[in-house]
Chains A and B, each alone.
Chain A
Amino acid sequence: MIRARGLGRSFGTKRVLRDLDLDVGERDLLVVTGPNGSGKSTLLALCAGLLAPTAGELEVGVDRGRVGYLAHEPLVYRELTALENLELYGCLYRVPERRERIGMLLERFALWEARHERVSAFSRGMQQRLALCRTLLHDPDLLLLDEPYAGLDEAGAALLDAELGALAGERTLVVSTHEPERVAALATSRLALG
Chain B
Amino acid sequence: MSTSLRNNSAVALAAAAFVLLLAGLTLAFYWVPNAPVEGFRQRIFYIHVPVALTSYACFGWAAWKALRLLWTRERRYDLESYTAVHMGVIFGILTLVTGSIWARTSWGVWWSWGERQLVLFLVLFLFYSAYFMLRYSVEPGPRRERMSAVYALFGVVLIPVSFMAIRLAEGLIHPVVFDRDPSDNLAASQLTTFVVCFAATLALAASLYVNELTGKRVDERLRELREALT
Q: A residues near B, CB below 8 A?
A: 10-13, 15, 51-52, 54
Task: Tell me the B138-157 residues at the A interface (CB within 8 Å).
Answer: 139-142
Q: Do A15 and B227 touch across chains, with their CB atoms under 8 A apart?
A: yes
Bound Cα distance A13, B140 (Å): 8
Q: Do A54 and B227 touch across chains, with their CB atoms under 8 A apart?
A: no
Q: Do B142 and A52 touch across chains, with their CB atoms under 8 A apart?
A: yes
Bound Cα distance A51, B140 (Å): 13
| B residues near A51, Cβ cutoff 8 Å | 142
A54 touching B142 in the complex, CB below 8 Å, given contacts A13-B223, A15-B227: yes
Q: Do A11 and B227 touch across chains, with their CB atoms under 8 A apart?
A: no
6 A/B residue pairs, CB under 8 Å, sorted by A: A10-B227, A11-B139, A12-B140, A13-B223, A13-B227, A15-B227
Bound Cα distance A52, B141 (Å): 9
Q: Do A12 and B141 touch across chains, with their CB atoms under 8 A apart?
A: yes
| B residues near A52, Cβ cutoff 8 Å | 142
Closest CB in chain A relative to B82 CB, distance in Å = 16
Q: B interface, how many residues as a size bin?
A: under 10
Interface string of B93-132 (1 = CB under 8 A from A): 0000000000000000000000000000000000000000
Closest to B142 in A: A52
| A residues near B140, Cβ cutoff 8 Å | 12
Q: Do B139 and A12 touch across chains, with their CB atoms under 8 A apart?
A: yes
Closest to B226 in A: A13
Q: Do A11 and B223 touch across chains, with their CB atoms under 8 A apart?
A: no
Closest CB in chain A relative to B145 CB, distance in Å = 10
| B residues near A13, Cβ cutoff 8 Å | 223, 227
Bound Cα distance A52, B140 (Å): 12
Closest CB in chain A relative to B79 CB, distance in Å = 14
Q: Do A54 and B223 touch across chains, with their CB atoms under 8 A apart?
A: no
| A residues near B223, Cβ cutoff 8 Å | 13
Bound Cα distance A1, B140 (Å): 30
| B residues near A10, Cβ cutoff 8 Å | 141, 227
Bound Cα distance A10, B227 (Å): 10
Bound Cα distance A12, B223 (Å): 11
> Which 7 A-B pairs give the minimum distances between C-beta atoms?
A52-B142, A12-B139, A12-B140, A15-B227, A11-B139, A11-B141, A54-B141
Bound Cα distance A10, B143 (Å): 12
Closest CB in chain A relative to B175 CB, distance in Å = 49
Closest to B146 in A: A52
| A residues near B227, Cβ cutoff 8 Å | 10, 13, 15
Closest CB in chain A relative to B211 CB, distance in Å = 24
Closest to B144 in A: A12
Bound Cα distance A10, B220 (Å): 13
Closest CB in chain B relative to A47 CB, distance in Å = 16
Closest CB in chain A relative to B141 CB, distance in Å = 6
| B residues near A11, Cβ cutoff 8 Å | 139, 141
Closest CB in chain B relative to A146 CB, distance in Å = 20
| A residues near B139, Cβ cutoff 8 Å | 11-12
Closest CB in chain B relative to A39 CB, distance in Å = 15
Closest CB in chain A relative to B222 CB, distance in Å = 12
| B residues near A12, Cβ cutoff 8 Å | 139-141
Q: A11-B139, A13-B227, A54-B142 are in contact. List 7 more A-B contacts (CB 8 A).
A: A11-B141, A12-B139, A12-B140, A12-B141, A13-B223, A15-B227, A51-B142
Closest CB in chain B relative to A10 CB, distance in Å = 7
Bound Cα distance A54, B139 (Å): 13
Closest CB in chain A relative to B135 CB, distance in Å = 12
Bound Cα distance A8, B142 (Å): 13
Closest CB in chain B relative to A50 CB, distance in Å = 10
| B residues near A15, Cβ cutoff 8 Å | 227
Task: Tell me the B211-230 residues at the A interface (CB within 8 Å).
Answer: 223, 227
